[in-house]
């Protein structure tokens, strides 16, 4: 007679543009046993906008932190009792995020936007993937890469995007030096 093995679970978190979603699955069967969604409360549907600049799209890092706690707790509450879920049976946690959403942080990895001196500074918030404020820097990077004969743009349509990391960092350096200088990473 074989001994029954206790079920084991994994928690997945998907940080998207407007919300974070949590999913609890049985790792052996793939059965979804609990889910939850947390809509980001800041801004317009989770996105901080600037009426003077339609290219700007930022997010409040506090929404990510609060979303983690609320969403995971809700997903756990949504697991039916008969499943036998207990937190000590969680064997893994996976996290995915929208790509190219840099967040200026201090030396402890804490978002600058959560510090009093940067609380109202949009440049200290998370620079959402769809933020296009760095279009000039992206064009500059594209031109520099072409003039130097760098081949890496050939794999992405030949143009560096303003949605990507380096153009955003360069734009932050040029337009928000206090944030850039305070950022450890």
Tell me the CATH number at 141: 3.30.420.40
Q: Is 3 inside a domain boundary?
A: no
Give the model's pLDDT for residue 2: 65
Whether residue 150 is contained in a domain is answered as: yes
Residue 120 domain-assigned? yes
Average pLDDT, the chain: 96
Compute the average pLDDT of residues 74-96.
Answer: 97
Q: How many CB atoms lie within 10 A of CB 145?
A: 17
Q: Using alpha carbons, list the distances in angstroms from residue 90 to 26, 65, 81.
A: 9, 20, 16
Give pLDDT, residue 26: 98
Reference 61, options 15, 21, 14; nearest CA is 15
**Helices 165-175 and 135-147, axial angle in degrees (round to 10):** 120
Q: How many domains does the chain have?
A: 1
State the residue range of the domain holding 152. 9-182
How far is Cα 185 from Cα 175, in angstroms, rounded to an integer? 17
């Amino acid at each position: 007679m074989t001994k029954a093995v206790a079920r084991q679970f994994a928690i997945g978190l998907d940080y998207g543009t407007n919300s974070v979603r949590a999913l609890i699955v049985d790792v052996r069967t793939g059965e979804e046993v609990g889910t939850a969604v947390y809509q980001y409360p800041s801004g317009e549907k989770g996105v901080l906008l600037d009426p003077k600049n339609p290219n700007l799209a930022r997010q409040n890092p506090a929404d990510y932190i609060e979303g983690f706690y609320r969403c995971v707790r809700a997903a756990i509450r949504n697991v039916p009792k008969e499943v036998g879920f207990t937190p000590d049976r969680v064997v893994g946690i996976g996290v995915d995020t929208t790509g190219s959403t840099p967040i200026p942080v201090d030396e402890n990895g804490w978002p600058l936007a959560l510090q009093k001196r940067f609380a109202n500074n949009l440049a200290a918030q998370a620079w959402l993937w769809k933020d296009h404020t760095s279009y000039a820097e992206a064009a500059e990077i594209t031109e520099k890469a072409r003039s130097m004969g760098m081949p890496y743009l050939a794999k992405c349509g030949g143009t560096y995007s303003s949605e990507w990391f380096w153009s955003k960092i360069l734009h932050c350096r040029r337009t928000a030096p206090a944030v850039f200088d305070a950022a450890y990473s």
